[in-house]
A and B are shown apart, each in its own frame.
Chain A
Amino acid sequence: MTEMKIMMIDRTLWVSALKALPIEQLLSFTTELSKDWAIRSKSIPQSGLGMLRLNDSAFEEAFYLGEFPLASAWLEIETSDGLIAEGAAQVMDDRIEAAEALALCDAVLSAQLPGWEQLNKMLDQGMEIRESASQNRKHMLASTKVDFSLLDEVAPDAMEGKNAES
């Protein structure tokens, strides 16, 4: 049953779903989970700023809209039973530990290492939080929508008023 569920959530959404959970929860879980494992870096874990590049609509010239925090990690795990798996994460966060923890979760889920069932439940929780946040955003966006068709109804009256004044 759980195996079916993990297949339903695309791997590209794992980091996003887990990021929706409190990071302290994730860090304490991964620290406990990996205390007897050997973890090696496949690339140097880094944090810094990403640049958002866009083209302006008038001259099609590139410009940087702004910066965002970015952390990345790619690691290899060897469990105490000798199981080996790789995981990676690139996340909008300025903490390397967050990227490392998410990369570890990625490895655990992809290879179904010990602890993956618990992580899968966290994944579901994260997806729910993510869905709820998405719905909230949609709701907020909908409430700011302007119905321009109403202007058509108002416009003739306004015009009449103007004519009367003149």
Chain B
Amino acid sequence: MSAATGEHDWTMIIDLDRCTGCQACVVACHAENNIATVGEEEVIRGHAMHWIHIERYWEGEYPHVRARFLPVLCQQCERAPCEPVCPVFATYHSVDEHLNIQVYNRCIGTRYCANNCPYIARVFNWFNPYVPEPLNEQLNPDVTVRSRGIMEKCTFCVQRIRRVEETAAAEDRPIHEGEVQPACAQSCPTQAILFGDRLDTESRVANLTGSRRAFRLLEELGTEPAVIYLKGGETYVE
């Protein structure tokens, strides 16, 4: 558990009981964050660029098989293994907001961070992004379009966090519960993804963090992720 310090402690709750593996979050994430789509051939070559993977695990032997879904994105670790290995500080820790920041402009593409991420949550720009007309009209002006040769990853939609923070500061008020919504949480039809500030003790994420179902991915590594999963018992798709 990270100490309750700083201005915010942005936390994501993913309820595995609610996840149906529909991939709406993946699409929303692509749209919001200007993530390049690479086409079928490059996906086969292992160059897909999703910031969220819906990891699908099969249980049982055919024909009695069941699928389980595990959405994995950057876990925004408090003790992130990806950060110290970067020689140029392209990824670092925001101590105030407990976010794992990726600075595209600084990245030179050593891909060391990607190797050291136990969740393999980081994504590399293998080529320049291909944005055919009229898809360029869809690009989000709040987010950089990354060039070839640099690393990227889930930012918890930091552009949305900033916008809300600035609005709240301008109106001289605290940020309301649920005001910050990353694209994935916003688009999830079953509301499996919740997002909020754990420092706000009244918030739903703060309450669910203590749930008996709560666990963190590869918790034993001591990376202290800010993504908390709620165990699923019932989510089987036959």
Do chains A and B interact in one complex?
A: no
Mark B residues whose CB is within 8 Å of A: none
